[in-house]
Amino acid sequence: MLSTIIASVLIFGLLIFVHELGHYLAAKRAGIKVLEFALGFGKELIAWEKGDTRYTLRFFPLGGFCRLLGEDPDDRRQEGNFQDKSIPSRFAVIAAGPVMNFALAVLLFTLMYFFFLGVPQQHSTRIGEVISGSRAQQAGLQSGDVILSVDGVDVQNWQEVVSRINASPEREILLHLRRNGEEHIVSVTPAEQQGKGLIGITPVYKKFMFLPSMVWGFNYTWFFIKLIFVSFYQMITGAIPADVAGPVGIVAVVGEVMQTGLSNLFSLAAIISINLGIINLLPIPALDGSRLLFLTLEGIRGKPIDPQKEGFIHFIGFAVLIMLMIFISFQDIFRLL
């Protein structure tokens, strides 16, 4: 239980730190004074100052903020405040938080492939693993076999192997392969799954390849971004039931995933980071997306929204989000019990 709590705090802390760091770095680049960079909410545990910025570590770890000069109406006459900057500069500062969450997901997926999973060697037709109990194992295929042809058609890479096998569900095929310098012909019947033929083999995976791992990190991040948007749409339209987890539910998932290995924990942290980035881009009051919406309206209107009205909308949105988080947390607790 203690290890689950520690892992959860580290994951939440990392995601929030990276998000706020995006705002912080973009603000510094734009010449905006950062009054406070805080990790957590509530009572200050550690605090120090450097330059114009106060850095704080607070008691409650599930949160954080980057307070900029100019966010308070009384600061707006001072030099280096947020409101004096151009709309593109302010837009970049606000958007930098979610963007950093997506960048963190790419990094975590990259590290997962680099250190733990390895990158599939698509240019090769060598079998990396034969899944236990599969049609391939029953036919006598072994790890290290090099597939030369499928049903008499020569194959040059793993994608060609997969395509040929996928095209023959529940139909016997002949694999011409090389094993320990000798050539063999093996008969196997692919099992049908969702209209495709599968025999239960994987390519060779190679670790410690940084650039290919980064490519897979980008691809996996993009895959989950699309998947999450599709899931949101399906929940809104009622195609799938709404299933939302709060902090308590996420901690429970972290505990379960920890039992399956460190690579899956990296993957979970990346997926949560993507979710955090997407949710913050939604036009919900108090989140980055609503502030981006107000900036867009300012650009269209040619003048800013009344600061008092905008602040009131964000305050109401923040209150609603807190109540929603409490409600979801109670749901998570009842679900666990």
pLDDT tens string for the chain (337 positions)? Answer: 667 888 888 898 899 999 999 999 999 999 999 999 999 888 999 999 999 899 999 988 778 899 999 887 666 677 888 988 999 999 999 999 999 999 999 999 999 999 999 999 999 999 999 999 999 999 999 999 999 999 999 999 999 999 999 999 999 999 999 999 999 999 999 999 999 999 999 999 999 999 999 999 999 999 999 998 888 888 788 777 766 665 656 666 777 888 888 899 999 999 999 999 998 998 888 889 999 999 999 999 988 888 778 877 877 877 777 676 666 566 655 665 5
Please check whether residues 84 and 18 belong to one and the same domain. Answer: yes
* Structure-token pair, residue 285: 């009051």
pTM for this model (two decimals): 0.86
What is the distance between the alpha carbons of residues 152 and 120, in angstroms, rounded to a whole number?
A: 25
Q: Under a CB-based contact definition with an 8 Å cutoff, are residues 108 and 269 in contact?
A: yes
Q: Under a CB-based contact definition with an 8 Å cutoff, are residues 34 and 24 in contact?
A: yes
Last residue of a domain, one of 206, 240, 255: 206
Q: CATH number for the domain including 192?
A: 2.30.42.10
Please check whether residues 87 and 32 belong to one and the same domain. Answer: yes
Please check whether residues 261 and 321 belong to one and the same domain. Answer: yes
Please check whether residues 15 and 93 belong to one and the same domain. Answer: yes
Please check whether residues 162 and 14 belong to one and the same domain. Answer: no
Please check whether residues 235 and 332 belong to one and the same domain. Answer: yes
Please check whether residues 135 and 97 belong to one and the same domain. Answer: no
- Among this protein's residues, is 20 annotated catalytic? yes
Please check whether residues 178 and 278 belong to one and the same domain. Answer: no
Please check whether residues 93 and 229 belong to one and the same domain. Answer: yes
What is the distance between the alpha carbons of residues 55 and 202, in angstroms, rounded to a whole number?
A: 49
Predicted local confidence at residue 249, as pLDDT: 63
What is the distance between the alpha carbons of residues 30 and 22, in angstroms, rounded to a whole number?
A: 12
Please check whether residues 55 and 114 belong to one and the same domain. Answer: yes
Phi, psi of 192 (to 5 degrees): -90, 130
Q: Under a CB-based contact definition with an 8 Å cutoff, are residues 271 and 224 in contact?
A: yes
Tally of structural domains, the chain: 2
Predicted local confidence at residue 311, as pLDDT: 78
Q: Under a CB-based contact definition with an 8 Å cutoff, are residues 144 and 177 in contact?
A: no
Please check whether residues 246 and 329 belong to one and the same domain. Answer: yes
Last residue of a domain, one of 158, 186, 206: 206
Predicted local confidence at residue 324, as pLDDT: 67
Residue 122 CA from chain centroid, whole number: 24
Indicate which residue of 20, 192, 256, 310 is catalytic: 20
**Coil, helix or strand at residue 189:** coil
Q: Tell me which residue range forms the domain holding 69.
A: 2-118+215-336
Q: What is the CA radius of gyration of the chain?
A: 26
Q: Under a CB-based contact definition with an 8 Å cutoff, are residues 267 and 109 in contact?
A: yes
Predicted local confidence at residue 129, as pLDDT: 96
Dihedral, CA of residue 262, residue 264, residue 269 and residue 274, to nearest 10:
150
**Coil, helix or strand at residue 67:** strand
Please check whether residues 11 and 101 belong to one and the same domain. Answer: yes
Last residue of a domain, one of 206, 224, 252: 206
Predicted local confidence at residue 325, as pLDDT: 65
